[in-house]
Chain A
Amino acid sequence: QSALTQPASVSGSPGQAITISCTGTSSDVGNDNDVSWYQQHPGKAPKLMIYAVSNRPSDVSNRFSGSKSGNTASLTISGLQAEDEADYYCSSYTNSISYVFGTGTKVTVL
């Protein structure tokens, strides 16, 4: 059960759009639509941003969107803002009744 693969860092200027990838296997990301994304600011607990690949909780900005193709899921942040600077983790339910997280991506707003 290896961690899902994410880029270590992604950066963008305010107002730009960035995309974070999350690559797994047919046993996790590619198995069903059970991918979620979390935002974590330093010293804080993670916060759910996207669930079931592309659904947003009611308190999350519509600048955040998710998608999936095969074994790779993606999180897009449009209209990048300073407050979006944080670590982002994907997670997937697996076909062995367990969960696996991604390696994490540090987003920097230039």
Chain B
Amino acid sequence: QVQLQESGPGLVEPSGTLSLTCGVSGASISNYWSWVRQPPGEGLEWIGQIHHSGSTSYKPSLKSRVTMSVDKSKNHFSLNLSSVTAADTAVYYCVRHGGRSFDLWGRGTLVTVSS
């Protein structure tokens, strides 16, 4: 049974960097993976994707602040979002691609930006 598990700090200070990791268990990291976030009470927002080869594609409006990476030896991939503000407060999900859809989601982790 394939599972995804997000991990990282639940509180980040304004202007700091949000760093999350998604551990993949029960399957190889050989796939496309994305990060999706959801501010409290709001809709879903795609942040970007990474292929196991390391190639990436980011949402244009976030591109200047986003970096994604993959560690095949640890079977996990990561998200860094810099210069965060309160608007970045959200539940962050890591997601597996099934073709051009998202067929497996992690449980999500709430990250709050506050001093």
A residues with a Cβ closer than 8 A to B are 1, 3, 34, 36, 38, 45-48, 51-52, 57, 89, 91, 93, 96-104
Contacts and interface: CB of A to CB of B under 8 A. Distances in A.
Contacts of A57: 103
Nearest to B91: A45
Contacts of B46: 91, 98-101
Nearest to B60: A1
User: What is the predominant secondary structure among interface residues of chain B facing chain A?
Assistant: strand
Contacts of B59: 1, 98
5 residue pairs, one from A and one from B, having the closest CB atoms: A36-B101, A51-B101, A34-B100, A45-B105, A99-B46
A103 B49 CA distance: 20
Question: Which of A3, A97, A99 has the most chain B CB atoms inside 10 A of its CB?
Answer: A99
B108 to A, nearest CB: 5
Contacts of B99: 34, 51-52
Contact of B43 (A1, A45, A101): A101
